[in-house]
Amino acid sequence: MASALLGFASCGDKTDPVGLWDPMEWVADHPGNPTKITAEAKGGTFAVTCTNYSRPWLDSYVTVDGKKVLAVEEGKEWDYRHIKKDWYEIEVKGNTYWLTIEPNTTGKERTLTVYVTAGDIFDTINIVQKKE
Protein backbone atom coordinates (compact mmCIF):
# COMPACT_ATOMS: atom_id res chain seq x y z
CA MET A 1 0.00 0.00 0.00
CA ALA A 2 2.82 2.41 0.86
CA SER A 3 4.45 1.82 -2.53
CA ALA A 4 1.13 2.60 -4.26
CA LEU A 5 0.91 5.92 -2.40
CA LEU A 6 4.53 6.71 -3.21
CA GLY A 7 3.92 5.95 -6.88
CA PHE A 8 0.84 8.19 -6.89
CA ALA A 9 2.73 11.03 -5.23
CA SER A 10 5.57 10.80 -7.75
CA CYS A 11 3.21 11.40 -10.70
CA GLY A 12 3.12 15.08 -9.85
CA ASP A 13 6.90 15.49 -9.71
CA LYS A 14 7.75 18.59 -11.78
CA THR A 15 11.44 17.64 -11.91
CA ASP A 16 10.65 14.71 -14.21
CA PRO A 17 11.52 15.93 -17.74
CA VAL A 18 8.97 13.67 -19.48
CA GLY A 19 6.19 15.90 -20.77
CA LEU A 20 7.91 19.14 -19.78
CA TRP A 21 8.83 21.15 -22.87
CA ASP A 22 10.57 24.52 -22.88
CA PRO A 23 8.42 27.34 -24.30
CA MET A 24 9.15 28.18 -27.93
CA GLU A 25 11.63 31.07 -28.24
CA TRP A 26 11.49 33.48 -31.18
CA VAL A 27 13.42 36.09 -33.14
CA ALA A 28 12.07 38.04 -36.11
CA ASP A 29 12.92 40.48 -38.88
CA HIS A 30 10.52 43.10 -37.46
CA PRO A 31 10.80 45.22 -34.29
CA GLY A 32 9.01 44.38 -31.05
CA ASN A 33 7.50 41.07 -30.00
CA PRO A 34 8.50 38.47 -32.65
CA THR A 35 5.11 36.70 -32.53
CA LYS A 36 2.98 39.85 -32.73
CA ILE A 37 3.13 41.42 -36.18
CA THR A 38 1.46 44.62 -37.34
CA ALA A 39 1.29 44.60 -41.13
CA GLU A 40 0.65 47.69 -43.20
CA ALA A 41 -2.33 47.69 -45.58
CA LYS A 42 0.08 47.17 -48.50
CA GLY A 43 1.00 43.74 -47.04
CA GLY A 44 4.46 42.23 -46.92
CA THR A 45 6.52 39.20 -45.98
CA PHE A 46 7.70 38.53 -42.43
CA ALA A 47 10.20 35.98 -41.10
CA VAL A 48 9.74 34.56 -37.59
CA THR A 49 12.32 32.02 -36.41
CA CYS A 50 12.03 29.54 -33.55
CA THR A 51 15.46 29.45 -31.93
CA ASN A 52 15.13 26.44 -29.64
CA TYR A 53 13.36 23.83 -31.82
CA SER A 54 14.88 22.84 -35.16
CA ARG A 55 11.83 21.61 -37.11
CA PRO A 56 8.57 23.15 -35.88
CA TRP A 57 5.44 22.92 -38.02
CA LEU A 58 1.95 24.34 -38.53
CA ASP A 59 -1.16 23.16 -36.77
CA SER A 60 -4.12 22.13 -38.94
CA TYR A 61 -6.03 25.39 -38.53
CA VAL A 62 -5.65 29.16 -38.23
CA THR A 63 -7.98 31.85 -36.92
CA VAL A 64 -8.98 34.54 -39.42
CA ASP A 65 -10.81 37.60 -38.10
CA GLY A 66 -11.83 35.59 -35.03
CA LYS A 67 -13.09 32.54 -36.96
CA LYS A 68 -11.36 29.15 -36.92
CA VAL A 69 -10.41 28.04 -40.44
CA LEU A 70 -9.12 24.57 -41.30
CA ALA A 71 -5.91 24.71 -43.27
CA VAL A 72 -6.53 21.28 -44.74
CA GLU A 73 -8.68 21.18 -47.85
CA GLU A 74 -11.17 18.34 -48.13
CA GLY A 75 -9.77 15.43 -50.10
CA LYS A 76 -6.20 16.73 -49.98
CA GLU A 77 -3.26 15.57 -47.91
CA TRP A 78 -2.31 17.93 -45.06
CA ASP A 79 0.88 19.87 -45.71
CA TYR A 80 2.04 20.77 -42.22
CA ARG A 81 4.68 23.17 -43.60
CA HIS A 82 2.56 25.26 -46.00
CA ILE A 83 -0.81 27.05 -46.00
CA LYS A 84 -2.00 29.32 -48.83
CA LYS A 85 -5.38 31.04 -48.69
CA ASP A 86 -7.00 34.18 -50.14
CA TRP A 87 -4.84 36.87 -48.55
CA TYR A 88 -2.09 35.02 -46.67
CA GLU A 89 0.53 32.35 -47.20
CA ILE A 90 2.56 30.64 -44.49
CA GLU A 91 5.57 28.48 -45.26
CA VAL A 92 7.87 26.78 -42.77
CA LYS A 93 11.46 26.32 -43.94
CA GLY A 94 13.64 24.68 -41.29
CA ASN A 95 12.80 26.59 -38.13
CA THR A 96 11.62 29.80 -39.85
CA TYR A 97 8.01 30.73 -40.56
CA TRP A 98 7.65 32.90 -43.67
CA LEU A 99 4.36 34.80 -43.53
CA THR A 100 3.24 36.65 -46.66
CA ILE A 101 0.28 38.99 -46.35
CA GLU A 102 -1.45 40.33 -49.48
CA PRO A 103 -2.61 43.98 -49.73
CA ASN A 104 -5.72 44.75 -47.68
CA THR A 105 -8.39 46.37 -49.86
CA THR A 106 -11.35 45.42 -47.64
CA GLY A 107 -11.55 48.74 -45.81
CA LYS A 108 -11.38 46.82 -42.50
CA GLU A 109 -8.57 45.68 -40.25
CA ARG A 110 -7.78 41.96 -40.65
CA THR A 111 -6.41 39.51 -38.10
CA LEU A 112 -4.67 36.17 -38.50
CA THR A 113 -3.57 33.80 -35.74
CA VAL A 114 -1.22 31.02 -36.82
CA TYR A 115 -1.02 28.00 -34.50
CA VAL A 116 2.42 26.42 -34.37
CA THR A 117 3.89 23.37 -32.66
CA ALA A 118 7.08 21.39 -32.23
CA GLY A 119 5.56 18.33 -30.54
CA ASP A 120 3.99 18.77 -27.13
CA ILE A 121 4.69 22.51 -27.14
CA PHE A 122 2.39 25.02 -28.82
CA ASP A 123 2.45 28.73 -29.57
CA THR A 124 0.84 31.33 -31.81
CA ILE A 125 1.97 33.99 -34.25
CA ASN A 126 -0.52 36.86 -34.38
CA ILE A 127 -0.86 39.30 -37.26
CA VAL A 128 -2.99 42.43 -37.38
CA GLN A 129 -3.17 44.03 -40.81
CA LYS A 130 -4.13 47.68 -41.00
CA LYS A 131 -6.97 48.81 -43.24
CA GLU A 132 -6.21 50.94 -46.29
Domain segments of the chain as ranges: 26-129
Band of pLDDT at residue 78, cut at 50, 70 and 90: confident
Does the pLDDT value for residue 12 go beyond 60? no
Instruction: Give dist(CA 29, CA 129) in Å, integer.
Output: 17
First to last CA, the chain: 69
Q: Would you state the pLDDT for residue 7?
A: 46
Phi and psi at 10, nearest 5°, equal -75, -15
Instruction: Give dist(CA 69, CA 74) in Å, integer.
Output: 12
Taking residues 28-33, report their average pLDDT: 96
Entry pTM: 0.83
Task: Classify domain 26-129 at the CATH superfamily level.
Answer: Immunoglobulins (2.60.40.10)
Instruction: Give dist(CA 30, CA 53) in Å, integer.
Output: 20
Does the pLDDT value for residue 109 go beyond 80? yes
